[in-house]
Amino acid sequence: MQILKEDVRNKIREAALSEFKREGYLQASMRRIAQAAGVTSGNIYRYYESKEQLFDAIVQPVFEQYTVNMKEIHHKVELSYQSDERINPVYFKNIESTLVELFKTYSSELTIMLNQSTGTKYENVKSDLRQLVYSILERVLLTIRGEETRLSPEDHALVQMLSSTMMEGLCLLLRDNEEGDTLRKLVDQFLFVNYQGINALIHQETRKRSGME
């Protein structure tokens, strides 16, 4: 029985990280990954039985950490609906902090999970996050509106636009920029601007509401 070498496994993972980031899961090739890692096409399957297993090995760690953090935020939002708790912009700050911290540790992996996971069990992560942002914004506006139980068509369009803009903007930054300090700064600034803009909108709506009472 041959012993699997950790240095070879690491080379395969590094090559796969580059391949998945460039090509996405569906178009990625185990043959190209093997060539980039300096192993034969047959040998790569001794380390990873399939492309899916290799993709999991790369994305699963960031997905698990992301899931833990987002579940906590989502739970708080759900409780606010049930208890009529007043929700506030700190939830956006929590999402921002979670994404920034994940990005610092798993830059390429996060990029792959959000942008290049079509055809895998992770392909709905981006839309789920967009829906979470939508839920928070919806709850904020409903709280401001008082007795209203559902968003007006205008508010719905606004919330839809804001949540989509946040996610698509983040994904574009991750897709179109190389790793490094510049990208980290861009992501941090982008999320900060989103948070500040949403916070300003909330204060504006609150003042308008107060003026009507």
Q: Where are the domains of the chain?
A: 1-49, 58-212
pLDDT at 200 over 70: yes
The values of phi and psi at residue 3, to 5°, are -90, 130
CATH 1.10.10.60 fits 1-49, yes or no: yes
| Mean of all residue pLDDT scores within the chain | 83
pLDDT at 164 over 50: yes
Q: What is the CATH number of domain 58-212?
A: 1.10.357
pLDDT at 198 over 90: no
Distant-in-sequence, close-in-space partners of 43: CB < 8 Å, separation ≥ 6: 34
According to DSSP, residue 119 is labeled: T
pLDDT at 182 over 60: yes
Cα–Cα–Cα angle for 118, 70, 135, nearest 5°?
90
Segment 6-41, tens digit of pLDDT? 999 999 999 999 999 999 999 999 999 999 999 999
- 212 versus 146: the higher-pLDDT residue is 146
Segment 105-136, tens digit of pLDDT? 788 898 899 999 999 999 999 998 888 888 87
Most confident of the following: 121-125, 185-189, 208-212? 121-125
In the prediction, which pLDDT does 185 show? 82
The Cα–Cα gap between 127 and 123 comes to 8
Segment 86-102, tens digit of pLDDT? 555 566 667 767 777 77
- pTM: predicted TM-score of the whole model, two decimal places: 0.78
In the prediction, which pLDDT does 170 show? 82
Answer left, alpha or beta for residue 119, where phi above 0 means left and psi between -120 and 50 means alpha: left
